[in-house]
Structures are given as structure tokens and as C-alpha cells.
């Protein structure tokens, strides 16, 4: 057998148990084992070895990643729901012998079904569908105003392509920064987020105003910067309470005004 690999570790520094060629630089906050520089994982104030740093109980981001890994989101189901429409379109243009459009319809159907099945190539393929539509429209010399709805559709396709949630569905690696942003949007105090949405809705829909206040108060109660992971979005919760209050006062004034005119309380 060959001689042992040359060590770059200083003679008095213990080597990393998993990477004997590297010197250990610290001990893991969970298992107490040595770790080397390349594998060290930092969560808040603590540093972990590679194995512990990825454990769900250590990393809330890792827990979320595992929960969403390969799991269909609402968009995947929407893709499946749209498949019969694309298929109907394909058959309809087929009966009219519009072969360019048959190609477009068949491509659409294939991409949405592949998306639902989790075929990774569906993700970039979605970006190609709209240029395909555009190409066929130009080829068939349609009025160019029909291109207007393609602009938001292309925006949506680009957004889906870039979406962290969609990347997780297709089991594509996502860096910690993206995971942290997704966690903030999805898991960080959802009550506060719902309170804000209801607060805005309460300005046009009376019933949403008291809901916003209740959700906002619950959301405020949950805020805890000391928790691991920290629970934030206190400003969202507060905005929900304030907007809910404004909505409630506004609708009370409207109600009193209608009653004072002898009108029915409901329009
Ligand atoms: Zn460890
Ligand atoms: Zn190591």
C-alpha cells in the first residue's frame, strides 16, 4: 500500500476526523467533535461540523428545504389543471389544419404535464413557450396587439424560473441566502403577513377589518427576536392592527350615516 498522505496540519493541531488532510479549527456546538475550516457551518452565534450543521433541528432552513424538496406547490397543480385547455386548443387547431398552432399547442401541453411530473427540463422549457407563440404569431401575421398579454405571461414565466420554491420542487440546489429569503416570506410569522393582507382588504371589505385586528394582535404576541429562529414581522402585524382599526372606524361611520338617512344597513 502507499505511504500515508502528507499532512498540512501543524504537528500540535489535531486533524479533522473526517478530513485528515485538514487541521481542525474548532469544536462543533452540537456533537463536540472537531471540524475543519472548509466544512464549518455557522448558524447565528454557533459553529457546527458539516454533519450537525445540516441537521433539521440545528438548521430551520434545512428543515424547510427538506419539507419542500420535490414537493409540488400550487403552481405545479395549476400546470396540471391547465393541461386540458392546452390539449383542447391543440385538437381544435388540428381540426382546422393550422399546423403551426398545433405545434405550439402540443409544446404547451407537453411542458405543463412535464412540469407537473417534476421533469427538470420543464423549467427552462417554460421560458421557450412564449418566444414560440411570438414566432408563430409573427409568421401568421396576426395583429400585434395580441402580443400585449404575452408581456405579463413572460414576466410570470421568468418569475417561476427564478423562484426558490420552484427550484426546491425540481430538487435543484438552493444557497442559504435564497433559503433564508424564502423562509422569511413563508415561515416567519405568517399571522403577521395575513394580518397585513386582511388590513388592506378591510378597507374595501368590512368583514376583513376585525379579522386583521385579531390576526395582527396574535402576530404581535408571537414576535420573539430571542427565539431560534427569531420570529419577526412585528411591523406587518402592527400595520394589520392599525389598518383593521381604520377600516372598522370607516365602516362604522358608513353604517351610522346610512342609518341616520333611514336606509337599510346593507347596501
Ligand atoms: Zn457536530
Ligand atoms: Zn473536516
pLDDT digit string (tens) for the chain, length 267 residues: 344 444 444 456 788 998 889 999 999 988 999 999 999 988 767 889 988 888 877 788 888 888 999 999 999 999 999 999 999 999 999 999 999 999 999 999 999 999 999 999 999 999 999 899 888 888 887 677 777 878 888 999 999 999 999 999 999 988 888 988 999 888 889 999 999 999 999 999 999 999 999 999 999 999 988 777 788 999 999 999 999 999 999 999 999 998 998 887 776
- Smallest-distance ligand from the CA of 47: 1
* Structural domain that includes position 205: 188-259
Please check whether residues 118 and 41 belong to one and the same domain: no
- Smallest-distance ligand from the CA of 37: 2
Please check whether residues 165 and 93 belong to one and the same domain: yes
Number of domains in the chain: 3
Q: Is 233 exposed, middle or buried (0-12, 13-18, 19+ CB in 10 A)?
A: buried
Largest CA distance in the chain: 100
Q: 10 Å Cβ neighbour count for 196?
A: 24
Q: Which of 169, 200, 217 is the last residue of a domain?
A: 169
Please check whether residues 108 and 54 belong to one and the same domain: no
| CA of 64 relative to ligand 1 center, distance in Å | 20
Q: Is residue 176 part of a domain?
A: no
- Smallest-distance ligand from the CA of 23: 2
* pTM for the structure as a whole: 0.69
Q: Within 13 Å and on the Cβ side, how many CA atoms surround 78? A: 5
| CA of 26 relative to ligand 2 center, distance in Å | 10
Please check whether residues 192 and 239 belong to one and the same domain: yes
Q: Which of 141, 169, 197 is the last residue of a domain?
A: 169
| CA of 63 relative to ligand 1 center, distance in Å | 17
Q: Which of 142, 169, 196 is the last residue of a domain?
A: 169
Please check whether residues 127 and 47 belong to one and the same domain: no
- Smallest-distance ligand from the CA of 29: 1
Please check whether residues 79 and 160 belong to one and the same domain: yes
Pair 262, 217: CB distance under 8 Å: no
**Nearest alpha-carbon partner for 205 in 236, 258, 244:** 244
Q: Is 36 exposed, middle or buried (0-12, 13-18, 19+ CB in 10 A)?
A: buried
**Nearest alpha-carbon partner for 41 in 31, 124, 249:** 31
CB neighbour burial string for 216-225, b if at least 16 within 10 angstroms, e if fewer: bbbbbebbee
| CA of 55 relative to ligand 2 center, distance in Å | 16
Pair 48, 40: CB distance under 8 Å: yes
Cell output for 249: 372606524
| CA of 20 relative to ligand 1 center, distance in Å | 16
Pair 184, 177: CB distance under 8 Å: no
Please give the Cα distance from 108 to 197 (Å, whole number).
34
Amino acid at each position: 500500500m502507499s505511504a500515508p498522505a502528507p499532512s498540512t496540519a501543524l504537528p500540535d493541531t489535531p486533524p479533522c476526523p473526517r478530513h485528515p488532510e485538514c487541521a481542525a479549527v474548532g469544536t462543533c456546538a452540537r456533537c463536540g467533535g472537531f471540524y475543519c475550516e472548509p466544512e464549518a457551518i455557522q448558524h447565528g452565534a454557533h459553529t457546527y461540523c458539516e454533519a450537525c450543521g445540516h441537521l433539521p433541528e440545528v438548521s430551520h432552513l434545512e428543515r424547510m428545504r427538506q419539507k419542500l424538496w420535490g414537493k409540488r406547490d400550487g403552481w405545479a397543480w395549476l400546470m396540471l389543471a391547465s393541461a386540458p385547455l392546452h390539449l383542447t386548443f391543440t385538437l381544435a387547431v388540428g381540426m382546422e389544419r393550422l399546423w403551426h398552432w398545433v405545434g405550439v399547442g402540443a409544446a404547451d401541453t407537453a411542458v405543463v404535464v412535464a412540469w407537473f411530473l417534476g421533469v427538470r427540463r420543464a423549467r427552462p422549457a417554460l421560458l421557450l413557450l412564449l418566444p414560440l407563440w411570438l414566432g408563430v404569431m409573427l409568421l401568421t401575421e396576426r395583429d400585434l396587439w395580441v402580443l400585449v398579454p404575452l408581456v405579463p405571461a413572460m414576466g410570470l414565466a421568468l418569475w417561476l424560473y427564478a423562484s426558490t420554491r420552484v427550484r426546491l420542487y425540481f430538487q435543484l440546489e438552493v444557497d442559504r441566502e435564497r433559503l433564508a429569503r424564502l423562509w422569511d416570506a413563508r415561515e416567519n410569522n405568517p399571522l403577521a403577513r395575513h394580518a397585513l393582507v386582511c388590513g388592506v382588504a378591510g378597507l374595501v371589505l368590512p368583514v376583513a377589518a376585525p379579522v386583521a385586528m385579531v390576526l395582527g394582535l396574535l402576530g404581535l404576541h408571537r414576535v420573539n427576536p430571542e427565539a431560534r429562529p427569531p420570529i419577526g414581522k412585528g411591523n406587518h402585524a402592527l400595520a394589520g392592527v392599525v389598518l383593521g382599526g381604520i377600516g372598522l372606524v370607516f365602516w362604522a361611520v358608513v353604517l351610522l350615516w346610512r342609518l341616520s338617512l333611514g336606509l337599510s344597513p346593507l347596501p
